[in-house]
Amino acid sequence: MLDIQRITLIRDGKEILHEITLSVGEGNIHCIVGPNGSGKSSLAYTIMGCSGYLPSSGTIEFNGQDVTHLSLSQRAAAGITLAWQEPARFEGLSVKDYLSICQKGRVDDKGLARVLALVNMSPKRYLEREVGESLSGGERKRVELASIVMMHPKLAILDEPDSGIDVISIKDIISLMQVLKEEGASVLVITHRPEIVNIGDSASLICDGRIVLSGSTSQVSDHYLERCRPCEVETVHGT
């Protein structure tokens, strides 16, 4: 499904990602963990094809097609979506409008209610609200996640879907990811939360722009939680 081979990303003369190799199988959830500033969001932007994130070397294959040089909109049309770590504000656009433009084909109230229920938001209370300043950060994050389900993606990249979401609602995020999976999407989720890593099929630990460990979620989670402080990155690089 997604097959990344040795991508290196340089921005403003700084190497942000170094020879990242990673794959996500069809219908699988792959988790990316790693410390702040290690390159997780940069990897998400590189896969999505954001402007300024063309790798200097390496390839990105999606569904057997080389998408390394495709634009963001071409990748979106191929079925790749990204839920941003910091969701954008759209003043003047209602939640209903925002979710409706994410859906291909006809949108009905039942469909809107379904995706809002997944993020625990009442349609009555929220559909006519603007996706702007007046929504709280956590509410905007929820709308953003609902919009991903509306898009029926083949690959959903979720950049810290848990950030800004209260602890008791982490279970909503987990069930939303399971819905995406049940509907046939592959999910690449960047997270700091062990509960989310636990539901993955596999995981990778990224540190200083490099994948230092890939394997089972428990292996990666344990390594991250127990051995990354003090950082053992030199040791891992050497193995």
Ligand X SMILES: Nc1ncnc2c1ncn2[C@@H]1O[C@H](COP(=O)(O)OP(=O)(O)OP(=O)(O)O)[C@@H](O)[C@H]1O
Residue 87 binds which entry of Mg ion, ligand X, none, CB below 5-8 Å type-dependent: none
Q: Is the peptide bond before 230 cis (omega within 30 degrees of 0)?
A: yes
Least distance to ligand X, CB of residue 44, Å: 8
Q: Does 41 bind Mg ion (CB under 5 A)?
A: yes
Q: Which residue is nearest to Mg ion (CB)?
A: 41
Rounded Cα distance between 17 and 209, Å, is 4
Q: Does 38 bind ligand X (CB under 6 A)?
A: yes
Footprint on residues 78-137 left by ligand X (CB under 6 A)? 85
Quickly count: other Cβ atoms within 10 Å of residue 11's Cβ: 13
Q: Which is nearer to ligand X, 2 or 102 (CB)?
A: 2
Footprint on residues 71-110 left by Mg ion (CB under 5 A)? 85
How many positions of this chain bind Mg ion (CB under 5 A)? 3
**Which residues 6+ apart lie within 8 Å of 113 measured at CB?**
123
Q: Does 202 bind ligand X (CB under 6 A)?
A: no
Choosing from 41, 46, 191, 204, the residue that interacts with ligand X (CB under 6 A) is 41
Cβ atoms of residues 213 and 197 within 8 Å: no
Least distance to ligand X, CB of residue 228, Å: 13
Q: Inter-axis angle of helices 170-182 and 109-118, to 10 degrees?
A: 130
Q: Which is nearer to ligand X, 56 or 122 (CB)?
A: 56
**Which residues 6+ apart lie within 8 Å of 66 measured at CB?**
59, 60
b/e code 138-149 from CB counts within 10 Å (16+ = b): ebbbbbbbbbbb
Q: Which residue has the tokens 């051995």?
A: 227
Choosing from 1, 2, 4, 16, the residue that interacts with ligand X (CB under 6 A) is 16
Footprint on residues 46-85 left by ligand X (CB under 6 A)? 85
Q: Which is nearer to ligand X, 34 or 161 (CB)?
A: 34
Site residues, ligand X (CB under 6 A)? 11-12, 14, 16, 34, 36-42, 85
